Amino acid sequence: MDYRRLQHFMAAVRHGNLTTAAYELGISQPALSKGIKTLERSLGVALLERGRFGVAPTPYGEALLARGQLVEAELRNAVGEIEALKDATRGHVLVGCGPTEANRLLPLALQRLHTSHPEIRVTVLYGLNESLMPWVRHGEVDFAISSIPQEPADATLVHDKLFLDKGVIVARVDHPLSKKRHINATDLASQQWVLPRSRELERQAFDALVKEHHFNIDKASVETTSTVLMKAMVMQSDMLTFIPKELIYWEEQAGQLMVLAESRLQWARQVGITRRRQGTLTPASRLLTEALRQTATSHF
């Protein structure tokens, strides 16, 4: 299989538009179309569905895309490793990062890396685990920094623990419950909540804790993937949320948010690095993971 034609196909899927994909690749749109049709003929299947509003992969295209992303990731890593061998101070890292880890851990680690290796470039993709894990699995990022499960659930991924954080109930500093020394189930059951969506680890932990402590709350008033929105709503109302404590570090310092005292609803979560089991990290990626480990040891 001609790798250039595979690149043409993957660019078309990525953009959903042949003209935009051709522009990215620096070729004409007819040349791009010809390359993809040649690839389709060689495989004997249609890889793209073409319509008025662009292109989308067929089931055959989806299968090729999944493998093609891994091939692309390994080639990117190989190029990065060769460049690093020529000059160990250079390289490019693609990393996925969760919202909590973007708060302090990653900025501190990037400062450490930049001090020792200023020529290394880093691209950070931001998201929750529901996005980060597929990005790692498909080779779209070299590794991700986020919550990791207590027990591995995906045999294709490896998780390296960095530090232990905890999920806590958070309120604004002048919330009606803020002065209570002991908060019971009745206090919490009567509140309005803004929470992560049900597929996120923090929400699953919250639901399990609620069940364990035998109290009921109405469905969350707001569910969101945005931690910015969660914190903003809590700061501007009497709503409560359940998020990692590290996520409100700066708001605690500024006297804007607080952890409700004596709440039994706390959950320990592991923060770590997730990478592909079969993948290889470039020297630049290894330098960033080491900076992350050193930062976790010294600050967390």
Residue-wise pLDDT tens digits, 160-188: 999 999 888 899 999 999 888 778 777 88
Query: Angle CA(103)–CA(106)–CA(107) in degrees, nearest 5?
Result: 75
Q: Give the pLDDT score at 225.
A: 86
- Across all residues in the chain, what is the average pLDDT? 86
Give the residue range(s) of CATH 3.40.190.290 domains in the chain: 165-267
pLDDT > 70 fraction of the chain, expressed in percent and rounded: 91
CATH 3.40.190.10 is held by the domain 69-163+270-299: yes
Residue 292: both structure tokens together: 């992350």
Residue 74: both structure tokens together: 């390994």
194-207 pLDDT, tens digit each: 998 887 778 888 88
For residue 31, what is the enclosing H or E element? helix 29-43
* CATH number attached to the domain at 3-66: 1.10.10.10
225-250 pLDDT, tens digit each: 899 999 999 999 999 999 899 999 99
| Ramachandran class of 147: left when φ > 0, alpha when ψ lies in -120 to 50, beta otherwise | beta
Give the residue range(s) of CATH 1.10.10.10 domains in the chain: 3-66
Q: Which fold has domain 165-267?
A: D-Maltodextrin-Binding Protein; domain 2 (3.40.190)
Give the residue range(s) of CATH 3.40.190.10 domains in the chain: 69-163+270-299
What pLDDT band is residue 84 in, cutting at 50, 70 and 90? low
Q: Give the pLDDT score at 1.
A: 63
Q: Which amino acid is it at 272?
A: G
Q: Give the pLDDT score at 118.
A: 92
